[in-house]
Structure 1
Amino acid sequence: MNTVIENTQNRLQEIAGLKYVDEDWGQLDYYSPNPPVKWPCVLIDIANASFSDVGKDRNKTPQNRQMGDEVLSLTVADMRLTNSSGRAPLLQKNNARSIWAIMEDIHAKLQGWSATPMSGKFMRRSRQRIRRDDGIQEYRLMYVFSETDA
Structure 2
Amino acid sequence: MSAKHAQRRRHWLAMFGLLPLLQACSPLRLINAVVPDGSHTLLEGLAYGDQDRQQLDVYLPKPPVSGAPMAVFFYGGSWNSGNRADYKFVGEALASQGIVTVVADYRLSPEVRYPVFLQDSAQAVKRVLADANGWGVSPERIFLMGHSAGAYNAAMLALDPRWLGGAGVAREKIAGWIGLAGPYDFLPIKVPAVKEAFNWPGTPADSQPLFHAQRPDPAAPARTLLMAARKDELVNPERNTVGLAQALTARGQDVEVALLDGVGHASLIGAMAAPLRGLAPVLEQVRQFIEKRPS
Q: State TM-score, norm by structure 1.
A: 0.39
Greater relative contact order (CA < 8 Å, ≥ 6 in sequence):
1
The answer to which structure has the higher strand fraction is: 1
